[in-house]
Structure 1
């Protein structure tokens, strides 16, 4: 069992879910729709200076699905280099 956390800009949300759909994965998840922070890309604070926001997906899944999620995220990252898509996978 894996715990998967995905933090990404709203601009790539549809692309990520399309990639999941193609692989028939991520059927159960929790989405936190507005996440603010700063990392290796531009800050996402939802204010007048840094207006963009991220979202967070929390997914608990089997090891095989976690690997497919990782492949899907890598595929989307190839097309959106500067969007700050971060994936964290932990063993349960």
Structure 2
């Protein structure tokens, strides 16, 4: 089992959800709808100065689905190259 965490601009949330659900059978997840912070290039703080915001998605997937998840996120990153989409993964026990 692998825990994946995806942090991305709120503007691509629906695209990520649909792509993951469409490519990984029984893809279940939790969404944290408002994530504020600073990445490599800019801040997403939901303020007048830094108005954008992020969201986070957490999911536990089977090991066999990890490569698919990486490919899905790579395709989304290609489509939305300026959005700072990141996926992190760690082994998990349930």
Deviation of 1:25 after TM superposition, in Å, equals 4.0
- Spell out the pairing of 1:47-58 with structure 2 (5 A cutoff): 47-58=47-58
1:87 is the counterpart of 2:80 = no
Deviation of 1:70 after TM superposition, in Å, equals 1.1
Aligned partner of 1:8 in structure 2 is 8
The answer for unaligned runs of 5 or more in structure 2 is none
- Number of aligned residue pairs: 92
User: For the aligned residues, what is the CA RMSD?
Assistant: 1.4
Q: For residues 16-69 of structure 1, give each alpha carbon's deviation from its aligned partner in whole angstroms, at most 9, with x where no partner exists.
A: 122223314463111100000111232100111111110000111111222211
Q: Point out 4+ residue stretches in structure 1 off by more than 6 angstroms.
A: none
Question: The residue matched to 2:37 in structure 1 has which SS?
Answer: coil
Contact kept in structure 2, 1:25 and 1:68, CA below 8 Å: no
Aligned partner of 2:32 in structure 1 is 32
The answer for unaligned runs of 5 or more in structure 1 is none
Contact kept in structure 2, 1:35 and 1:55, CA below 8 Å: yes
